[in-house]
Chains A and B, each alone.
Chain A
Amino acid sequence: MEAVIAVLVGVLMASSVYLMLRRNLVRFVLGLALISHTANLLIFSSGGLQGTFPPLISPGELEPGPGAANALPQALMLTAIVISFSVFAFLLVLAFRTYQRLETVDPDSMRSAEPVPAEAGMDGPASGGPQ
């Protein structure tokens, strides 16, 4: 199972990175949401996937029973999920407001803070128009 999850995490990671590199804030936002999932899955599976039972201790006992999942990554992930959700919500609103102000979702055209000559674009002149 670990090997399959490892490949899946790789696919998720590659997809997130590709999305974050698009010249479109909407796709960037999607990429960011995806990369949070990827990170969570990465943490989860690096703690081992042998256990299938929740890490709970039965009343009267002092230790969880055999087959309990690794509790530590779960605790880390719970924190990570909440924080990534906060960041994501903030970014989403930021993207929305940016669009309202600048009337574009092309990050290359957001030059209010750092105006540079047109030749400094990344992929040459922007080829606008419908695809």
Chain B
Amino acid sequence: MAALGIPTARVPVLLRASVALPAALFAWFCSLVPRVSSGQTLHWEIGWIPEQGIALSFFIDGLSLLFALVITGIGTLIVHYASEYMRGRPQLPSFTAFLLAFMLSMLGVVLADNLIALFIFWELTGLTSFLLIGYKHEEAAARRAALQALLVTGVGALAMLAGFVLLGETAGTYSLRELLAGDVSLADASNYTWILGLVLAGAFTKSAQFPVHFWLPNAMVAPTPVSAYLHSATMVKAGVFLLARMSPVLGGTEAWSVTLVGFGAVTAVYSALASVTRTDLKQVLAYTTVMALGTSVMFLGLPGEAGTAHSTAAIAAVAFILVHALYKAALFMAVGTIEHSTGTRDIARHGGLRHVLGPTFVGTALAAVSMAGLPPFIGFVGKELLYSSAYESAFGGFALFAIAAASVLIVTAAMLVAVVPFFGTMKQSARDAHPVTWQLWIGPLLLGLLGLVAGVATAPVFHGLVLPAAAAIAPVPEHFEPGLWHGFNALLLLSLATWAVGAFVFWQRPVILSVPGSILDRLPVTGDRVYDAAMDGIARFSTALTRRMQSGIQRRYILAVFATLALSVGATLVAKDAIHLPSQIPSVTFGEWALVAVIAASVLTVILTRSRLLAICALGVVGTAISLVFLLRGAPDVAMTQLIVETLVVVIVAIVLLKLPDFRNEIRQPLSARWRDGAIAVAVGTVTTLVLLAVTARPPQLELTEYFESMAVPGGHGHNIVNVILVDFRALDTLGEISVLVLAAAAVCALIRRRSRYRFDRFLRLQAGQSARPGRARASREGA
């Protein structure tokens, strides 16, 4: 693992050069800040399918601008970091393409105006995420994690699409701008619960809320730049973004608040606890990401006055999203650097790295302090806002308890990441570590410093970014002044207590965390296992279904075909009331009765006889008798053809069938099978009779016949109408018929000639894995 980044390997020029794209986009978005923060909404529209009135439209307000800045700003640093981190690894051109494609899709999600376009970009982020998690596709774990992330978020996204369609149909528009501008609240709509549930399913799976959070820690098999970018700073925030975006439309109800606060709080506390019991640095960070997502969801759910989101909570949620993006991307890059330098992410194997990775240590420390919420960092401002808005809100005690408990553990997690690897005695990993180039520490350092600068210059950050973003969620008070110092009050005491308890837990972690750690490790039911069980179940179901449907047993297919025929035609007959039983005894001559009786008797003979010869003869009798019926009813041409064919059939059958085993040694099928087949056969026969009765109950449709009759002489210059139809009016059909005859004859010749025989025998032997006797042994299997 230590040899991952070979310093001598060629610099991935494409990846390094592509930094220009996010950088340029970042600069452009920065230039929009003054206009957007003054309350403007920017809007672009590109005709997509103008004929259908479908346009690809984008708009930028405070919320989308904040996300766009995070996506492109952190994207710049990540791409730059990756160009060094990924050096010497395979398939970098496609990695670069996936990473940039992800960035553009993610921008699409936050800028899209149309709900359907938003869904498509949303799915594109899932797809690129799948490709990036599966970067090490030769590892089974990576493939599994990639597929799991794709399926879990994909199922959620499909639910979300259904929710969008319901929403769009109910509101009458799919444009987010119109939805938001019209102040539409769907809270009173009759299908509000459905819309809410479906949209939340999309948001919760994407943003890894408990209990579907499991895919996110598993996704850490991806290269660290991917984890830092997709799975902490941007993609997983898509769900949070959607909730923030939808808050004015769907929010403000009790269902919204209870669901969001409930899921968010459980997610935050559970994952904070899970994070401090992990030993892999990336897992620690992954679970703190889940905690941050839970916190954001919880605060977006806090109710304010009269059907809107709580304004301070909205500001707190937005601020926290920004804070988290800054420190978490820094910490992920730092952990990646540690792994790059030492070859391991196991906390226990690290110590004293500050001597080797000095600048990385500084960056990590700055980010971790912001994460722990210490002044004068932006993290402190964020946490104070969380505490105060939780305290003010209707969920006061519960929300405050949840966020405080999670914050305590986050302090512990921050110390785990920043203290353990860098302080203490130098362990083996630190002695083996190689120093890293500036590309690997500049990112964490910059982001860490940014957290400090933002904390000191709170006012511009809030007025430029946070408040305009929060204004998209809830009405923001005119003069909102965030600051580092709010006086010596109860909330400050709570902050002090948070740090103290967090530090205490860190200090005594072997004692305190052993119990929850072992409980978490032994949970009887986890999302991951449910996922496995579901996947196994689907595979088993599909196998069973395939084995049932595709048995490879020819008789079963025939049975299915005939049973379907009998059922569907029978059902149609009943449904259309088309059963016409003849009312009187039909007038039939004695000769006709005799003919019918002969046919029926011969057929029964074919079925019942144990002699092949008798069966063949009876078959011939059936054919001949039927040709007599044709002759009696004005079809001499057909009768003649039938007679010739029948004679040929009898001769050929007699030649061939007599070489096949006779019926004496036939496999005897059980009585139940015979009854089943008989029942199906009788059903098909009955249905056929009923159809024929229904058809002949009304006078035949003779338009076509009359056309042929009147056109035979003038059009075909023939007096035999049947012949004229065959060779003139339907000549192409006859050509097709002749082709079938030729093809069949060719196939028969090919089968009769024996050239391919030994090759086929060899094929069979290879299949069976044994040496079958190549020969024409006559002893039949059954007879032996």
Q: Are A129 and B641 in contact (CB under 8 A)?
A: no
Min CB–CB distance B719 → chain A (angstroms): 4
Tell me whether B688 is interfacial, beta carbon within 8 Å: yes
Contacts of B726 in A (CB 8 A): 75, 78-79
Q: A49-B633, A79-B737 are in contact. Are A13 and B642 (CB under 8 A)?
A: no
Contacts of B473 in A (CB 8 A): none
Contacts of B722 in A (CB 8 A): 55, 71, 74-75, 78
15 CB-based A-B contacts, threshold 8 Å? A1-B592, A2-B586, A5-B629, A6-B696, A10-B686, A11-B600, A13-B681, A15-B604, A21-B681, A22-B669, A55-B634, A79-B737, A81-B642, A81-B645, A116-B547
- CB nearest neighbor in B for A92: B656
Question: CA of A107 to CA of B669 in the docked complex: distance in angstroms?
Answer: 13
Tell me whether B637 is interfacial, beta carbon within 8 Å: yes
Q: Are A53 and B634 in contact (CB under 8 A)?
A: yes
The contact of B764 among A13, A61, A87, A101, by CB within 8 Å, is: A101
Q: Are A44 and B635 in contact (CB under 8 A)?
A: yes
Contacts of B734 in A (CB 8 A): 79
B 577-591 binary contact with A (CB < 8 Å = 1; else 0): 000001000111000
Min CB–CB distance B541 → chain A (angstroms): 17
Q: Are B780 and A103 in contact (CB under 8 A)?
A: yes
- CB nearest neighbor in B for A17: B681
Min CB–CB distance B567 → chain A (angstroms): 14
Instruction: Name which of B615, B629, B663, B665 has the most chain A CB atoms within 10 A of its CB.
Output: B629
Q: How many residues of A contact B (CB 8 A)?
A: 108
A106-131: which have CB < 8 Å to B?
106-116, 120-124, 126-131
Tell me whether B553 is interfacial, beta carbon within 8 Å: yes
The contact of A54 among B606, B636, B760, by CB within 8 Å, is: B636
Q: Are A93 and B607 in contact (CB under 8 A)?
A: no
B 752-771 binary contact with A (CB < 8 Å = 1; else 0): 10000100110010010000
Question: Interface SS of chain A: helix, strand, loop or mixed?
Answer: helix
B 649-665 binary contact with A (CB < 8 Å = 1; else 0): 10011001101110111
- CB nearest neighbor in A for B784: A128
Q: Are B782 and A64 in contact (CB under 8 A)?
A: no
Q: Are A82 and B641 in contact (CB under 8 A)?
A: yes
Q: Are A62 and B634 in contact (CB under 8 A)?
A: no
With A16-B681, A83-B741 already in contact, 13 other A-B pairs whose C-beta atoms are closer than 8 Å: A10-B689, A11-B685, A70-B700, A72-B704, A75-B722, A82-B645, A103-B777, A105-B660, A107-B554, A110-B554, A115-B767, A122-B555, A123-B672
Q: Are A33 and B638 in contact (CB under 8 A)?
A: no
Contacts of B705 in A (CB 8 A): 47, 70-72
Contacts of B778 in A (CB 8 A): 103
Tell me whether B356 is interfacial, beta carbon within 8 Å: no
B551-566: which have CB < 8 Å to A?
551-556, 558-559, 562
- CB nearest neighbor in A for B653: A92
Question: CA of A100 to CA of B97 in the docked complex: distance in angstroms?
Answer: 59
Q: Are A24 and B667 in contact (CB under 8 A)?
A: yes
Q: Are A124 and B670 in contact (CB under 8 A)?
A: yes
Q: Are B622 and A37 in contact (CB under 8 A)?
A: yes
B725-779: which have CB < 8 Å to A?
725-726, 730, 733-734, 737, 740-741, 743-745, 747-748, 751-752, 757, 760-761, 764, 767, 776-779
The contact of A17 among B562, B588, B645, B781, by CB within 8 Å, is: B562
Query: For chain B, which range describes its interface: under 10, 10 to 19, 20 to 34, or 35 or more residues?
Result: 35 or more
Tell me whether B710 is interfacial, beta carbon within 8 Å: yes
Q: Are B673 and A123 in contact (CB under 8 A)?
A: yes
The contact of B744 among A9, A33, A87, A101, by CB within 8 Å, is: A87
Q: Are A18 and B737 in contact (CB under 8 A)?
A: no
The contact of B586 among A1, A52, A100, A111, by CB within 8 Å, is: A1
Q: Are A72 and B708 in contact (CB under 8 A)?
A: yes
Q: A1-B592, A129-B782 are in contact. Are A46 and B695 (CB under 8 A)?
A: yes
Tell me whether B390 is interfacial, beta carbon within 8 Å: no
CB within 8 Å of A: which residues of B?
Answer: 547, 550-556, 558-559, 562, 582, 586-588, 592-593, 596, 599-600, 603-604, 606-607, 612, 615, 619, 622-623, 626, 629-630, 632-638, 641-642, 645, 648-649, 652-653, 656-657, 659-661, 663-670, 672-673, 677-678, 680-682, 684-686, 688-689, 692-693, 695-696, 699-700, 702, 704-705, 708-710, 712-714, 719-722, 725-726, 730, 733-734, 737, 740-741, 743-745, 747-748, 751-752, 757, 760-761, 764, 767, 776-782
Q: Are B782 and A63 in contact (CB under 8 A)?
A: no
A 66-77 binary contact with B (CB < 8 Å = 1; else 0): 011111101101
Question: CA of A42 to CA of B690 in the docked complex: distance in angstroms?
Answer: 12
Q: Are A122 and B673 in contact (CB under 8 A)?
A: yes
Q: Are A15 and B606 in contact (CB under 8 A)?
A: yes
Contacts of B704 in A (CB 8 A): 72
- CB nearest neighbor in A for B659: A96
Min CB–CB distance B389 → chain A (angstroms): 64
The contact of B688 among A13, A89, A94, A126, by CB within 8 Å, is: A13
Q: Are A37 and B626 in contact (CB under 8 A)?
A: yes
Q: Are A70 and B656 in contact (CB under 8 A)?
A: no
Q: Are A74 and B635 in contact (CB under 8 A)?
A: yes
Contacts of B777 in A (CB 8 A): 103
Contacts of B641 in A (CB 8 A): 78, 81-82
Contacts of A128 in B (CB 8 A): 667, 781-782
Question: CA of A10 to CA of B623 in the docked complex: distance in angstroms?
Answer: 16
Q: Are B688 and A44 in contact (CB under 8 A)?
A: no
Question: CA of A21 to CA of B684 in the docked complex: distance in angstroms?
Answer: 13
Q: Are A63 and B637 in contact (CB under 8 A)?
A: no
The contact of B709 among A55, A93, A94, A107, by CB within 8 Å, is: A55
Min CB–CB distance B512 → chain A (angstroms): 55
The contact of A104 among B632, B699, B780, by CB within 8 Å, is: B780
Contacts of B607 in A (CB 8 A): 15, 18-19
Instruction: Name which of A78, A92, A127 has the most chain B CB atoms within 10 A of its CB.
Output: A78
Q: A103-B779, A122-B556 are in contact. Are A75 and B699 (CB under 8 A)?
A: no
Min CB–CB distance A25 → chain B (angstroms): 7
Q: A57-B713, A83-B740, A103-B780 are in contact. Are A21 and B660 (CB under 8 A)?
A: no
